[in-house]
C-alpha cells in the first residue's frame, strides 16, 4: 500500500499543501482520500483518526521517505507545506515549522522527546533515518500534550511496525549519492513469536566534501554517521511492555570557507556527536481505557575539536530523564478522555577547557487533562495543562555567574471539526503555547567556532506565551483534492539573537539575545489532481510572514515556497517490474525580502528554482518482491543557490549542486 499525504494550514492569502495517496488496487482519488482520513495519528486524547483532528497535521509514509533525495531525515520531510530546514552543509539540518525552530519544535522519537542540546545553531537531530517508518507533523502550539517548547509544533518519528506473529523478517538497504560520494547501508531484522517481539538495526553512512558550481568542492564538508538500535517486548492480553536502546554517532567537519580537505575523513575543526537512549514503553489495559507509562534516559555528548584532534575544546555532556504517565479512555455517550503527568530532569556539564554556556540543572513537571466528544456532525476537542520548570546554573571562573530561575505556564486548546456536505470539511482550532527560555538564551557568554559569532545571553528573559488560531478547509471530489489552512499567531516575549554592532578581538560579531512581541501569519494550500488512471498532478504552496510590534521583520523566517510534481505510474500487475513510476518536480523558492536587517544580522535572499526527477520500481519474481529500486536526481540544472536559512549564507558558501541518487532495498523473510 502506498500513501502520500500532504496536509496544511493557511492564513495570509497564499496557497499550500497537498493530500494524496497512491494504492495499486485503487485508482479513485475520492475513496483514497476517505481511507487516508482513517489513518490513526497522535491526538489530544490519544490515538485519533485524522478526520477528527482539528489542528493541522501531516503524515509522511515510508514510501514517501524512500522516494525523496536527501542527506538526512529532516531534509526528507522539509518539502512538506509549512516546513523548512536550517542547514549546515549536507549533514546537519534543524526542523522549522511555520517559521519557528530551535527549542520551539519538539521532536519525539521512540515515544519520548529528543533532548540533544537543540539550542545550538549547528546542532542537528540525532536520529537514524533508516529506522524511521513514518513521520507525523503537528503544526501549531502543542504544549498541551508536550509541555514547554512545543510552541511551533511537534515532529513524531514512528518506528518500523512489528513483525507478523510467528515470523522473522527484515530488510537490507543501500544508497549512493554522486555529488558527495555518500555511501550508506542499513540492515534491520525483526521477529514475533508467542507474544515476544524484537527488532534490531545497524546503519552506517559517510560522505566526502560536496560540490557546487560557484564554490567547487567545499572543504571539510564531509561527515560520518553510525547508528544502532535494538528492542525487545511482550504483547499480552493485559497490554504490552517494550524496552528500546539506541546509539547514534555523527562526526561532521566544520566548514570555515577555506582549506583543501575534500575526503571522507573530517579535518580540524570537526565534531563528535554521540547520543545514547534507553526507553521503557508500557501500556496496561484498565477498565474502559489504558494506563500508559513511558520512562526514558538519554545522554548527548557533543565534542568540538579545533586545535587538536585528540583533545576537545568545547565538550558538553547532557543527561536527561523523561517520564510520562497518562490514562486514556473511551467513555459512554461518545466521550474520549485523557489525563496524566509528564516532565523531565536534566543535568548539563562542561567537560572541556572552552565554554559557551554554564553547567546547569533543570526539572520539569506538568499535569494535563483533555477530552473530545462528537455532537451531531461536530467533533469537539480541548483541554488544559499546567507546567512548571526549575533551572539552576553554576558559576565558572569569571565568565558565568550562578543564577536560578523558575518558570510556569498555563496552556490550553479547543478545536472543532465538521463536514460540510459531501465534499468539504471545516477545521477550527485555537491554542495557547508556552516556552521557557533555554540556558543558551539566558546564560551564554563565549565564542562558538561553529556559529561564526560570539554569543551573549540575557538572564532577565521571560517565558514565551503564544496564542494561535487556525482555520482549515478541505475539499475532496472524485478527481480533485484540495487542502487549505490559515493561521494567525501572537507570541509575547519572543526571544531571538541579533548583532550588537560590536566585534571581538578575533573580529567575530557579537550577538545578544533580546525579546519582543512577535506576530506571525501564514498559509498552506495544496492541490492534487488525478485526471486519468495513474497520472497525478500535485502542487503545494506555503508562506509565513513574521514581524515585531515595532515593525521589524523577525530573523530566520523561510521564504514563500511552491512545490509541484507530475507523477505517472506504469504498472501494478505484480509481474517483473511492478509499481513502476516516473516523476518530475520543481521546487520554487521565492525571493525573501522580509529579513531582520539591524546591524546586518540578515540580508535579502534571491529566488531560485530546483529541478528534480525520480523513477522507481519493485522487482517481482514468481509473485514475490525481491527488491525495490529508486533512481533520483536533485538540482538537475546545477543551480548555484544559498537558501535564506543556510548557516553558510554569511560566509557566502552555496548549497549542494547537481546530485544523482540510487537506492536499493532488499526485503528479508
Beta bridge partners of 459: none
**pLDDT given at position 89:** 82
**pLDDT given at position 36:** 58
Spatial distance between the Cα atoms of 114 and 322, rounded to a whole number of angstroms: 10
pLDDT band for 456, please (50, 70, 90 cuts). very high
Cis peptide before 124 (omega within 30 of 0): no
Strands 453-456 and 509-529 come out as parallel
Mean pLDDT of the chain: 89
- CB atoms closer than 10 angstroms to residue 420: 12
198-202, 377-381, 461-465, 559-563, range with the lowest pLDDT: 377-381
In 3D space, the residue among 24, 46, 47, 51 whose CA is nearest the CA of residue 35 turns out to be 51
**pLDDT given at position 189:** 97
| pLDDT-above-70 percentage for the chain | 93
CA distances from 316 to 117, 239, 321, 350 (A): 9, 39, 17, 5
pLDDT (tens digit per residue) in 506-532 = 888 899 999 999 999 999 999 999 888
* Residue of 287 and 562 predicted with greater confidence: 562
Average pLDDT over residues 387-416: 93
26-35, 114-123, 630-639, range with the lowest pLDDT: 26-35
pLDDT (tens digit per residue) in 193-225 = 999 999 999 999 999 999 999 999 999 999 999
- CB atoms closer than 10 angstroms to residue 28: 13
Which range scores top for mean pLDDT: 223-237, 256-270, 452-466? 223-237
Q: Exposed/middle/buried for 230, CB within 10 Å: 0-12, 13-18, 19+? A: middle
Q: Which three cell numbers stand for residue 436?
A: 521557557
Spatial distance between the Cα atoms of 507 and 513, rounded to a whole number of angstroms: 19
pLDDT (tens digit per residue) in 576-587 = 888 899 999 999
Average pLDDT over residues 531-541: 90
**pLDDT given at position 622:** 86
pLDDT band for 453, please (50, 70, 90 cuts). confident
Average pLDDT over residues 38-47: 70
Average pLDDT over residues 645-650: 91
In the chain, the domains with their CATH numbers are 2-668 (2.40.170.20)
List CB contacts of 520: < 8 A, sequence separation 6 or more. 98, 99, 100, 487, 488, 489, 490, 491, 544, 545, 546, 554
Record the pTM: 0.91
* Residue of 40 and 512 predicted with greater confidence: 512
**pLDDT given at position 144:** 81
CA atoms lying within 13 Å on the CB side of residue 622: 0
Dihedral sign for Cα 635, 641, 644, 649, please: positive
**pLDDT given at position 35:** 52
Beta strands in 262-377 (DSSP E): 270-286, 289-305, 314-330, 335-350, 360-375
Average pLDDT over residues 568-593: 90
**pLDDT given at position 435:** 95
Q: Which three cell numbers stand for residue 626?
A: 525481491
Dihedral sign for Cα 3, 104, 509, 360, please: negative
List CB contacts of 141: < 8 A, sequence separation 6 or more. 150, 151, 152, 153, 411, 413, 431, 432, 433, 466, 468
CA distances from 328 to 147, 337, 371 (A): 18, 6, 10
56 close to 142: Cβ distance less than 8 angstroms:
no
**pLDDT given at position 449:** 62
Average pLDDT over residues 599-615: 94
- CB atoms closer than 10 angstroms to residue 271: 23
Q: Which three cell numbers stand for residue 302?
A: 557533543
Amino acid at each position: 500500500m502506498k500513501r502520500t499525504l500532504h496536509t496544511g494550514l493557511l492564513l495570509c492569502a497564499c496557497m499550500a499543501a497537498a493530500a494524496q495517496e497512491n494504492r495499486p488496487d485503487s485508482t479513485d482519488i475520492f475513496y483514497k482520500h476517505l481511507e487516508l482520513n482513517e489513518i490513526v495519528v497522535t491526538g489530544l486524547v490519544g490515538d485519533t483518526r485524522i478526520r477528527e483532528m482539528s489542528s493541522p497535521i501531516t503524515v509522511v509514509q515510508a514510501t514517501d521517505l524512500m522516494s525523496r533525495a536527501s542527506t538526512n531525515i529532516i531534509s526528507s520531510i522539509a518539502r512538506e507545506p509549512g516546513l523548512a530546514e536550517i542547514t549546515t552543509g549536507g549533514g546537519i539540518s534543524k526542523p522549522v515549522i511555520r517559521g519557528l525552530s530551535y527549542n520551539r519544535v519538539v521532536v519525539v522519537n521512540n515515544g519520548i522527546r529528543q533532548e540533544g542540546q537543540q539550542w545550538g545553531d549547528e546542532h542537528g537531530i540525532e536520529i537514524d533515518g533508516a529506522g524511521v517508518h513514518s513521520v507525523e507533523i503537528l503544526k501549531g502550539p502543542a504544549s498541551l500534550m508536550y509541555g514547554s517548547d512545543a510552541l511551533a509544533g511537534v515532529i513524531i518519528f514512528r518506528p518500523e511496525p512489528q513483525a507478523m506473529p510467528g515470523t522473522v523478517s527484515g530488510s537490507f538497504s543501500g544508497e549512493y549519492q554522486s555529488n558527495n560520494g555518500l555511501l550508506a547501508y542499513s540492515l534491520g531484522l525483526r521477529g514475533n513469536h508467542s507474544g515476544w517481539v524484537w527488532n534490531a538495526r545497524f546503519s552506517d553512512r559517510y560522505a566526502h566534501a560536496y560540490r557546487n558550481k560557484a564554490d567547487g568542492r567545499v572543504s571539510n564538508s564531509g561527515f560520518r554517521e553510525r547508528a544502532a538500535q535494538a528492542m525487545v517486548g511482550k504483547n499480552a492480553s493485559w497490554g504490552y511492555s517494550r524496552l528500546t536502546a539506541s546509539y547514534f554517532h555523527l562526526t561532521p567537519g566544520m566548514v570555515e570557507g577555506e582549506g583543501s580537505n575534500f575526503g571522507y575523513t573530517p579535518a580540524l575543526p570537526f565534531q563528535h556527536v554521540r547520543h545514547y537512549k534507553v526507553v521503557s514503553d508500557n501500556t496496561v489495559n484498565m477498565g474502559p481505557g489504558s494506563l500508559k507509562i513511558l520512562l526514558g534516559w538519554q545522554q548527548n555528548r557533543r565534542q568540538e575539536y579545533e586545535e587538536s584532534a585528540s583533545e576537545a575544546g568545547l565538550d558538553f555532556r547532557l543527561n536527561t530523564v523523561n517520564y510520562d504517565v497518562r490514562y486514556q479512555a473511551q467513555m459512554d455517550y461518545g466521550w474520549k478522555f485523557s489525563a496524566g503527568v509528564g516532565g523531565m530532569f536534566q543535568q548539563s556539564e562542561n567537560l572541556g577547557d572552552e565554554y559557551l554556556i554554564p553547567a546547569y540543572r533543570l526539572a520539569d513537571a506538568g499535569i494535563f487533562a483533555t477530552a473530545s466528544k462528537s455532537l451531531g456532525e461536530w467533533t469537539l476537542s480541548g483541554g488544559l495543562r499546567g507546567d512548571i520548570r526549575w533551572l539552576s546554573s553554576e558559576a565558572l571562573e569569571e565568565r558565568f555567574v550562578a543564577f536560578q530561575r523558575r518558570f510556569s505556564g498555563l496552556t490550553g486548546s479547543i478545536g472543532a471539526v465538521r463536514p460540510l456536505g459531501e465534499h468539504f470539511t471545516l477545521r477550527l482550532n485555537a491554542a495557547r503555547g508556552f516556552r521557557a527560555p533555554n540556558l543558551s538564551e539566558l546564560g551564554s557568554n563565549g565564542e562558538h567556532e561553529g556559529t561564526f559569532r560570539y554569543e551573549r545571553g540575557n538572564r532577565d528573559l521571560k517565558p514565551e506565551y503564544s496564542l494561535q488560531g487556525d482555520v482549515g478547509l478541505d475539499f475532496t471530489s472524485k478527481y480533485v483534492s484540495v487542502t487549505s489552512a490559515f493561521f494567525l499567531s501572537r507570541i509575547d516575549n519572543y526571544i531571538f539573537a541579533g548583532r550588537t554592532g560590536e566585534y571581538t578581538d578575533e573580529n567575530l560579531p557579537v550577538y545578544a539575545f533580546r525579546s519582543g512581541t512577535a506576530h506571525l501569519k501564514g498559509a498552506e494550500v495544496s492541490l492534487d489532481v488525478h485526471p486519468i488512471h495513474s497520472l497525478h498532478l500535485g502542487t503545494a504552496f506555503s508562506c509565513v510572514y513574521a514581524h515585531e510590534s515595532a515593525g521589524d521583520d523577525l530573523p530566520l523566517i523561510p521564504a514563500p515556497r511552491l512545490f509541484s510534481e507530475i507523477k505517472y505510474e506504469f504498472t501494478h500487475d505484480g509481474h517483473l517490474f511492478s509499481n513502476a513510476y516516473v516523476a518530475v518536480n520543481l521546487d520554487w523558492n521565492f525571493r525573501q525580502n522580509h529579513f531582520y536587517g539591524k546591524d546586518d544580522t540578515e540580508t535579502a535572499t534571491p529566488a531560485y528554482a530546483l529541478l528534480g526527477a525520480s523513477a522507481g520500481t519493485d522487482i517481482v519474481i514468481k509473485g514475490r518482491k525481491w527488491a525495490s529500486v529508486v533512481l533520483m536526481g536533485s538540482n538537475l540544472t546545477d543551480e548555484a543557490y544559498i537558501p535564506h536559512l543556510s548557516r553558510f549564507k554569511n560566509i557566502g558558501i552555496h548549497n549542494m549542486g547537481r546530485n544523482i541518487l540510487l537506492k536499493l532495498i532488499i526485503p528479508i523473510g
